Amino acid sequence: MFVSENLNVNEKGHLTIGGADTVELAEQYDTPLYVMDEQTVRSACRRFKNSIDKYYGGQGLVCYASKAFSCLEMCRIVASEGLGLDAVSIGELYTAVKAGFDVSKIGFHGNNKTNEELEFAVDNKVGHIIVDNISELLRLEEIAKYRNAKPDIMFRIKPGIDAHTHDFVKTGQIDSKFGFALETGEAFEAVKQAIACENVNLMGLHCHIGSQIFDIDPFEEAAKVMLDFIAKIKNELNYEINGLNLGGGFGIKYLNEHDPAPLETYMERVSKVVKNTCSERGINQPYIFIEPGRSIAAPAGITLYTVGARKEIPNIRTYISIDGGMADSPRYILYKSEYEAIVANKANEERTEKVTIAGKCCESGDLIGENMPLQHAESGDIIAVYATGAYNYSMSSNYNRLQKPAVVFVNNGESRIAVKRETLDDIIRNDI
């Protein structure tokens, strides 16, 4: 049973991804190795885009949340599918610009953008800047005035929606560092202030209620709350907000028992709510933006490791140690996130054991997972962890001075390197 459709087993009994033999990939590129299947990325982009066309008359833009996984090649692929991009730092912006991304389709986020970042965004004519707080609004106004520019902006709003997900990835509730609160009147005052600014153009509102959300109801709720606010702005300030960014957060299947709603269902239901609410409130239907990250990148990726030590502690547990860990796969130590794994070179064999897969970092908590059903694994075997395409490479570190792994893209059986493995000299490149 595989969590994504790009995985299969070939005649050698080896796991394949996008038609490529993972055992051969491990031999060719070494491990640990991130492998991304290009067609899975493309198909997720198309499904989102097509569903906006189908359910919302094409009046919207899918902005890939590049925090999930950013590199030049990923930006090029996403751009070639006609998507926009959500960037959250000058580093993500720089990557997109260098990849030749259409800057007019980029939205720039962040709860504490520096002046350098704002200047970079204005100078590079980034499509719109999602302003998080008043200090940022005032700084941006100054920066734009000095350059004789008038950037489009959105306001990030906390819609007060409590999505059922891990506390650290919830962002839409009032006690959050992100955005303007509705309940307190803060958001309304900020809108008045923005309208009075001469060098920014308030064109939209943004919300993002959290990540890895399975339920569609909170997305519908958030859309209604935001449209109510747009109606209030129209009625009380006589100002039309034409853009509505509904954020990302769509859940994916990490485990076989996970059953997220299809992306199309989300778009169908949310489009309906937007249309109905607009006609009830007498406002124009906004152009909508969505910002999926995980749902585009995660299912496309796997991580390959080589097994080193096998340690059986009688009546307690068996540790299978791999040549990577929390430095390349930090989601277990951060959130206790669960994954499915397989012994890639024994993919047809039965899963006869429940093991703890351990990383090689000097921390007891450095695990890939506990009680994972697995084929009998020994030194030299290749382990593949599924659905690692989002928030693994992008959150990787050099802890213990480990070199970051390479990223390889596969496409219909062919592979190519997208990010080189770090060398030992990379580890000391900034040391003096």
The number of beta carbons lying within 10 Å of the beta carbon of residue 276 is: 13
The only residue of 127, 247, 325, 389 in contact with ligand LLP, by rule CB under 6 A: 247
Report the SS3 class of residue 58.
coil
- β-partners of residue 394 are none
Block residue for tokens 């596969």? 410
Query: Going along 314-349, which residue ranges are E strands?
Result: 317-322, 341-343
Binder of ligand LLP out of 16, 211, 277, 415 (CB under 6 A): 211
Site for ligand LLP in 290-319 (CB under 6 A): 291-295
The dihedrals phi and psi of 207, each to the nearest 5 degrees, come to -145, 155
Shorter beta-carbon distance to ligand LLP: residue 29 or 101: 101
Q: Give the interface segment with ligand LLP, choosing from 2-10, 119-127, 186-194, 207-215 (CB under 6 A).
A: 207-215
Place of tokens 């199309």: 264
Q: Hey, what's the torsion of the CAs at 228, 266, 209, 335, to 10 degrees?
A: 170
Q: Which of 45, 207, 361, 362 is catalytic?
A: 362
Residue range at the interface with ligand LLP (CB under 6 A); choices 236-244, 285-293, 314-322, 358-366? 285-293
Smallest CA-to-CA distance from 135 within 108, 111, 107 is with 111
- Nearest distance, CB of residue 74 and ligand LLP, angstroms: 13
The residue among 7, 6, 9 whose CA lies nearest residue 349 is 9
- The tokens for 25 are 């990939």
Sole window of 195-203, 230-238, 241-249, 313-321 interacting with ligand LLP (rule: CB under 6 A): 241-249
Catalytic residue check, 45: no
- Is residue 302 within 8 A of residue 35, CB to CB? The reply is yes
Cβ 44 to ligand LLP shortest distance, Å: 11
Is 68 a binder of ligand LLP (CB under 6 A)?
A: yes
CB of 255 to ligand LLP, least distance (A): 14
Q: Considering only residues 91 through 150, tell me which ones interact with ligand LLP, judged by CB under 6 A.
A: 109
Burial class (CB in 10 A: 0-12, 13-18, 19+), 361: buried
Shortest Cβ distance from residue 293 to ligand LLP (Å)? 3
Stretch of residues binding ligand LLP (CB under 6 A), selected from 118-126, 247-255, 264-272, 339-347: 247-255
Q: How far is the CB of 294 from ligand LLP (least distance, A)?
A: 3
**Nearest distance, CB of residue 61 and ligand LLP, angstroms:** 13
Between 208 and 253, name the residue whose CB sits nearer to ligand LLP: 208
Compute the 3-state secondary structure of the chain and give helix, strand, coil in percent, each to the nearest 5.
Answer: 35, 25, 40
Q: What is the DSSP letter of 374?
A: E
In whole angstroms, give the CA distance from residue 162 to residue 421.
40
Choices 14-22, 74-82, 115-123, 206-214; region in contact with ligand LLP by CB under 6 A = 206-214
Residue closer to ligand LLP by CB (options 319, 399) is: 399
Binder of ligand LLP out of 69, 180, 250, 332 (CB under 6 A): 250
Strand order in the sheet with 15-17: 7-9, 15-17, 20-21
Contacting residues for 205 by C-beta, under 8 A, at least 6 apart: 154, 155, 157, 226, 229, 230, 241, 243, 244, 245
Closest approach of ligand LLP to the CB of residue 274, in Å: 18
Binding mask 166-205 for ligand LLP (x = CB under 6 A): ---x-x----------------------------------
Residue 120 to residue 125: CA distance in whole angstroms: 8
Q: Which tokens hold the place of 11?
A: 């005649």
Residues in 355-414 at the binding interface with ligand LLP, rule: CB under 6 A: 390-391
List alpha helices for 99-185, DSSP H. 115-123, 134-146
In the complex, least distance from residue 15 CB atom to ligand LLP, rounded to whole angstroms: 23
Residues that bind ligand LLP (CB under 6 A): 65, 67-68, 86, 109, 169, 171, 208, 211-212, 247-250, 291-295, 331, 390-391
Active site members: 362
